[in-house]
């Protein structure tokens, strides 16, 4: 099977490519523009690891380049997973234009070719950010969504475009609403990695937003890659569906930080500050729907997976200089 995974230099894209290359015989193709939103050194290291596998082929370009994308689609892919996007909630306040380009225009280029080439299954990254500041916990896929930042709005737009664009086309699409994914090879701009960097690089300041009164549905990357693989062969009856990818186990951020302190026997200086307007105070998703689709009942224990994450960072901290 020929599988296209966009965003292979990114956190989730890399880990899923690696999963398929080590556990299956599928041919994996990936596109990524390797932009400088965060460390290109880290992205290049991910790609270097993937290129060790003979079944991996990489293309470096932006999905906004439709001509290059059309050439790649001559490969006749069986399935497409789309993870390439402009990430980051707070960055959407600084540079909203990049989200329109990467998350809407590039997205449409991709789905246009998926439809044209009659690809049967399309999986794409949405986000828990589509829910906004909801208080109806646990968050369920069928409730009204109301994002509070440009990033979340572009993901809502993706879901709505897909529903209309693929209607009657024969392509089945699955929107993946990811909730605070963490683990090895994680993004430097996310909480756990910011905190680890402030411990290993003592001159790095760590800012604790909302004075630590945030709660997040932390979801381990190994659970995510297992879910993504199981979806490959899952029986999906609806032509268009969205699913939460979450642990259904909300944890206060301060508990995560205290656990890291205890394990490493050290802690950084913390600079507490008020609530940031792009943030939401709590995320807590229901994973009932995804568990029913793929028959997955167990998720990683946070304490164990956090230790694995910290151990990985201890070995690879130089990538985050």
Question: What is the SS3 assignment for 46?
Answer: helix
72, two tokens: 């790649």
91, two tokens: 């960055």
9, 287 in Cβ contact below 8 A?
no
Angle at 60 between CA 88 and CA 49, to 5 degrees: 80
Known catalytic residue: 151? yes
- Distance of alpha carbon 91 from alpha carbon 110, whole angstroms: 24
End-to-end CA distance of the chain, in Å? 38
- Distance of alpha carbon 308 from alpha carbon 302, whole angstroms: 10
Residue of 151, 182, 195, 313 marked catalytic? 151
By DSSP bridging, strand 215-216 and strand 219-220 are: unpaired
Cβ neighbours, 10 Å, residue 281:
12
254, 138 in Cβ contact below 8 A?
no
Cβ neighbours, 10 Å, residue 122:
22
Residue with tokens 């130089």: 318
144, two tokens: 């009204």
Cβ-proximal residues to 252 (8 Å cutoff; 6+ apart), any chain: 212, 213, 214, 215
247, two tokens: 């642990």
C-alpha dihedral over 123, 125, 128, 130, to 10 degrees? -90
44, 32 in Cβ contact below 8 A?
no
- Distance of alpha carbon 32 from alpha carbon 164, whole angstroms: 26
Write out the catalytic residue numbers: 151
């Amino acid at each position: 099977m020929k599988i296209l995974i966009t965003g292979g230099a990114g956190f989730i894209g890399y880990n899923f490519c690696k999963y398929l290359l080590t556990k299956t015989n599928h041919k994996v193709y990936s596109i990524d523009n390797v932009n400088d939103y965060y460390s290109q050194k880290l992205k290049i290291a991910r790609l270097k690891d993937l290129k060790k596998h003979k079944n991996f082929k990489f293309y470096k370009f932006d999905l906004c380049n439709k001509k290059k994308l059309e050439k790649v689609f001559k490969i006749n892919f069986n399935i497409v997973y789309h993870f390439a996007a402009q990430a980051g909630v707070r960055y959407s306040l600084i540079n909203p234009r990049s989200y329109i380009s990467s998350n809407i225009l590039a997205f449409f280029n991709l789905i246009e070719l998926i439809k044209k080439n009659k690809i049967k299954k399309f999986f794409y990254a949405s986000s828990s950010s589509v829910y906004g500041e909801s208080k109806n916990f646990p968050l369920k896929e069928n409730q009204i969504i109301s994002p509070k930042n440009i990033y979340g709005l572009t993901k809502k737009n993706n879901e709505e475009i897909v529903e209309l664009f693929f209607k009657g086309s024969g392509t089945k699409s699955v929107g993946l609403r990811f909730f605070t994914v963490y683990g090895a090879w994680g993004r430097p701009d996310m909480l756990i990695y910011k905190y680890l960097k402030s411990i290993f690089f003592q001159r790095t300041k760590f800012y604790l937003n909302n004075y630590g009164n945030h709660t997040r549905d932390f979801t381990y990357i190994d659970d995510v890659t297992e879910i993504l693989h199981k979806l490959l062969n899952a029986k999906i009856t609806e032509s268009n569906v969205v699913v939460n990818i979450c642990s259904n186990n909300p944890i206060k951020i301060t508990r995560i930080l205290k656990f890291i302190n205890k394990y490493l026997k050290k802690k950084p200086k913390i600079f507490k500050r008020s609530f940031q307007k792009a943030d939401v105070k709590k995320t807590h998703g229901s994973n009932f729907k995804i568990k029913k689709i793929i028959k997955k009942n167990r998720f990683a224990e946070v304490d164990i997976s956090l230790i694995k994450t910290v151990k990985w960072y201890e070995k690879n901290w130089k990538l985050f200089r």
